[in-house]
Amino acid sequence: MDFVFTDEQRMIAETAQAFFTENATSERTRAAMAGDGIDHALWQAFCQELGLSGIGIPEAAGGAGLGLVELAIIAEAAGAQVAALPMLGSLALTAQAIAAGGSETQREAWLPALLAGETIAAHVAADDLVAEGDRLTGSCAFVAHGTAAQLLLVSGAGGSWLVRADAPGVTVTAQTTMDQTRPYARVTLAGAEGEPLADPQAGSRAATEAGMVVLAAEGLGLAQAALDRTVAYARDRVQFGRAIGSFQAYKHRLADMMVEIEQARSAVYWAACAVEEGSDEAALALHAAKCFCADTAFRCAGDMIQLHGGIGFTWEHDAHLFFKRARALQTLMGKNDWHRDKIAAMVLGETA
């Protein structure tokens, strides 16, 4: 038991933080928001120059090795900048599913391009999916970064398939989305051809684990950044002849944010370690991390607006980027109440 970062993990954190702080600027993110919600140059740089995109994917599968803790570190750093990147769809969901559940041919065909950022993937969770052989029919209205994707990971009806976005029978329609850094698209499949994952269970399990860790870590990074930026403002802004950060009502609200954030930090790295170490707490930890961190992110982003006053309500200020991303975190991969009910079922002994 040693629940602190190793030196290597600390180095990865510093590298990732420096990279995103310098490059995932508000200006660039806003440019991406006007397009398909991806800062493509940043994604290329992240995948190719920084070389961190293969983290969490075994070396045997063409990745950089390391594990979910390191993946969380990166997602936390990206979340702190609300970076407009397809990290969730391309890396956490699709690359993980292929690495864990794909055949060797599938891994070779897709992973290098995904990790190099040359191919972008999105996840289509189609509740109404009907598979006739490998012909897929169904739809999903909330496919994150769907319009930018060349590859779709389609799951439903107990299976997982890889589908090319330009295949006949696939329609992708952009949706105007509240969080413009990860816009949704409606994807409709009408008898589209899919290539089944060799081991769909292993694939979807790995994707779910990595996806939940990434969302939780993003929420943590976002919440911490919301706090840091608000603290900076609180020292600067003067009203009634005092820095507003000297008013106790204001201070205490910031303190409460920190209390939540420290718990969120424990949650993210507990979940990442529990999965990595094959702990029997892993399932509970993932549900806990997802809902706790999403709630923390939302609360901190909301407080960020309130504690900035009028400027916090403007389009010009970044607070709304935090707030909208935090809202999306609450519903992605299951609403928070649903995760909590899962936990209740576990502790009440209703599940095996």
Q: How many residues bind another protein (CB under 8 A)?
A: 50
* Integer Cα distance of 320 and 258 in angstroms: 20
Does 248 contact another protein by CB under 8 A? yes
Rg (CA), the chain: 20
From the CB of 258, what's the least distance to another protein, in Å? 5
* Integer Cα distance of 120 and 94 in angstroms: 9
Of 62, 79, 245, 312, which lies in the binding site for another protein, with binding defined by CB under 8 A? 245
Binding mask 285-304 for another protein (x = CB under 8 A): x--x--xx------------
Of 201 and 246, the one with the shorter C-beta distance to another protein is 246
Q: For 179-209, give the secondary structure using H, E and C.
A: CCCCCEEEEEEEEEECEECCCHHHHHHHHHH
Of 259, 306, 309, 311, which lies in the binding site for another protein, with binding defined by CB under 8 A? 259
- Contacting another protein within 305-344 (CB under 8 A): 337, 340-341, 343-344
Return the range that interacts with another protein (CB under 8 A); candidates 1-9, 23-31, 49-57, 168-176. Answer: 1-9
| Residue among 202, 205, 199, 171 nearest 185 (CA) | 171
Of 59, 167, 171, 252, which lies in the binding site for another protein, with binding defined by CB under 8 A? 252
Going by DSSP bridges, is the β-strand pair 121-125/151-156 parallel, antiparallel, or unpaired? parallel
| Residue among 57, 47, 86, 64 nearest 8 (CA) | 64
Does 13 contact another protein by CB under 8 A? no
Of 86 and 245, the one with the shorter C-beta distance to another protein is 245
From the CB of 303, what's the least distance to another protein, in Å? 13
Of 15 and 175, the one with the shorter C-beta distance to another protein is 15
Decide: 323 and 305 in contact? Cβ < 8 Å.
yes
* Integer Cα distance of 35 and 286 in angstroms: 33
Both structure tokens of 275: 């999965």
From the CB of 32, what's the least distance to another protein, in Å? 31
- Contacting another protein within 203-232 (CB under 8 A): 227, 231
Other beta carbons less than 10 A from residue 280's beta carbon: 7
Of 100 and 291, the one with the shorter C-beta distance to another protein is 291
CA distances from residue 185 to 147, 288, 328 in whole angstroms, order as listed: 6, 28, 14
Of 161 and 270, the one with the shorter C-beta distance to another protein is 270
| Residue among 221, 223, 214 nearest 295 (CA) | 223
- Contacting another protein within 47-106 (CB under 8 A): 69
Of 277, 306, 309, 311, which lies in the binding site for another protein, with binding defined by CB under 8 A? 277
Of 145 and 287, the one with the shorter C-beta distance to another protein is 287
Q: For 277-334, give the secondary structure using H, E and C.
A: CCCCCHHHHHHHHHHHHHHHHHHHHHHHHHHHHHHHHCCCCCHHHHHHHHHHHHHCCC
Q: Which residues bind another protein (CB under 8 A)?
A: 1-6, 9, 69, 227, 231, 234-235, 242-243, 245-246, 248, 251-252, 254-256, 258-259, 261-263, 265-267, 269-270, 273-274, 277, 279, 281, 284-285, 288, 291-292, 337, 340-341, 343-344, 347-349
